């Protein structure tokens, strides 16, 4: 199954919203290794910076950019990396009574 990976590349303080494509098993997210390989195919030689936030940094110290995955799009389903603080804030706006 194809997964469109939405990510933000920040270079010289300027963000660019980009996308890449990874093949995954149905119902699973791309692995860190698959993401690193996808970026390598785009001439971005990176390593993981923060696995929980899906952020990457260049392997070469002379390179100055950062990458943050913002969303995984697998067709109708989308799955963004989870931010527990954002999830907590959103849950406070959701009605507690399902009949409301």
**Over the stretch 4-60, which tens digit does the pLDDT of each residue have?**
999 999 999 999 999 999 999 988 899 999 999 999 999 999 999 999 999 999 999
Computed over every residue of the chain, the mean pLDDT equals: 86
Give CA 82 to chain center in angstroms. Answer: 10
Question: Of 37, 38, 50, which Cα lies nearest the Cα of 5?
Answer: 38
Place of tokens 């119902």: 27
Question: What pLDDT band is residue 83 in, cutting at 50, 70 and 90?
Answer: low
pLDDT of residue 80: 58
The model scores a pTM over 0.85: no
Distance of CA 65 to the CA centre of its chain: 16
Give pLDDT, residue 86.
67
Q: Where are the domains of the chain?
A: 2-93
């Amino acid at each position: 199954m194809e997964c469109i990976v939405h990510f933000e590349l920040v270079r010289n303080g300027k963000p660019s919203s980009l996308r890449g494509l990874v093949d995954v098993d149905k119902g699973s997210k791309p692995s860190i290794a698959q993401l690193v390989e996808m970026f390598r195919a785009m001439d971005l030689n990176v390593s993981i910076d923060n696995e929980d936030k899906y952020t990457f940094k260049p392997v070469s110290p002379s390179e100055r950019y950062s990458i943050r995955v913002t969303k995984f799009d697998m067709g109708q389903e989308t799955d963004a990396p989870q931010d527990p603080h954002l999830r907590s804030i959103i849950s406070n706006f959701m009605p507690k009574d399902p009949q409301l």
